[in-house]
Amino acid sequence: MSLFRVRDLFLSLPDLNRKKPFRPAPRIEILRGLSFDIEEGACVGIVGESGSGKSTLGRTLVRLHEPTAGTVRFRSQNITHLGAEALRPLRRNLQVIFQDPSSSLNPRRTVADIVAAPLFLHGEADPHAKAEEALASVGLGPAFHRRFPHELSGGQRQRVGIARAVALRPRFIFADEIVSGLATSTQAQVIALLRRLRRELSLTIAFVSHELSVVRHLCDQIIVMSAGRIVEAGNTGEIFDAPQHPETQALKAAIPLPEIEPQWLTGETA
């Protein structure tokens, strides 16, 4: 069953760098006619060079951006142009793990309060207990609950972001470059954690990364983007073994693919 059905998706955004006083900013086309499905339970890697539109695509799927044209269907519901109030009930099922936990975690709130915040927002019963359960699921026990983000390592902060995303038991998670800048061993531990949570919570994941070795180990399918278009898509093994498009071939050739030690993939410490 398709969780997402995307057809002829276009998105243009204001180009604030070219805005002139007293005039609307000119618009720049970011996404150009994208059509694809994401099956329920899949993990899809979205890759491409910087500026290809991959993060913008993920943000559009969770309706942080409203498409300019085309349709986005989530579980058969057309969410393309839903307003804020109509989207509210769906937000619990469309969660995001942001690239930089240092900027996405409130520095004035404790870890437990950060994870509990969306639970309060959605009217969950006993949000603190559920926040503690979510933190336990990512390997952060009671010793971490009263800490602040600056007291954690980079891997631990990213685990807080993951706990916040899964606390509401969403159907879909958009993970935006979440292992960028982490040490290779920590990357592997985060990958192992996502694989386990995906299995235990029946998650569907769109995973944006420029780390192709990470995508290889985590994702079932890959979408390759260039200049706002999908230039190649398919099963991960097929894409890596026999890339067809020059952009895919260039990505594979240009980006180092350090092997992640298999024993690290079961690690739970970061």
- Give which of 31, 26, 32 is closest to 56, Cα–Cα: 31
Q: Please, what are the averages of pLDDT over each run of 10 residues along the chain (270 residues)?
A: 96 86 87 97 94 95 97 97 94 93 90 96 93 97 96 95 96 94 87 95 94 84 96 93 89 63 48
**CA dist., res. 56 & res. 232, Å (int):** 18
* Every domain of the chain and the residues it spans: 102-169
Within 10 Å of residue 91's Cβ, how many Cβ atoms?
16
Region of 129 on the Ramachandran plot (φ > 0 left; ψ -120 to 50 alpha; else beta): alpha
3 state SS of 219 = coil
User: What is the per-residue DSSP string for 133-158?
Assistant: HHHHHTT--GGGTT--GGGS-HHHHH
The pLDDT, as a whole number, for residue 256 is 60
* Distance in angstroms (rounded) separating the CA atoms of residues 21 and 9: 31
Q: Give the residue among 81, 50, 56, 48 at the shortest CA–CA distance from 223.
A: 48
Closest of 95, 124, 128, 99 to residue 114, by C-alpha: 128
**Entry pTM:** 0.89
Say which amino acid occupies 198.
R
pLDDT at 254: 65
**pLDDT for the residue 212:** 78
pLDDT at 106: 94
The torsion defined by the Cα of 168, 174, 178 and 180, in degrees rounded to 10, comes to: 180
Mind listing the pLDDT tens digit for each residue in 84-122?
999 999 999 999 999 888 888 999 999 999 999 999 999
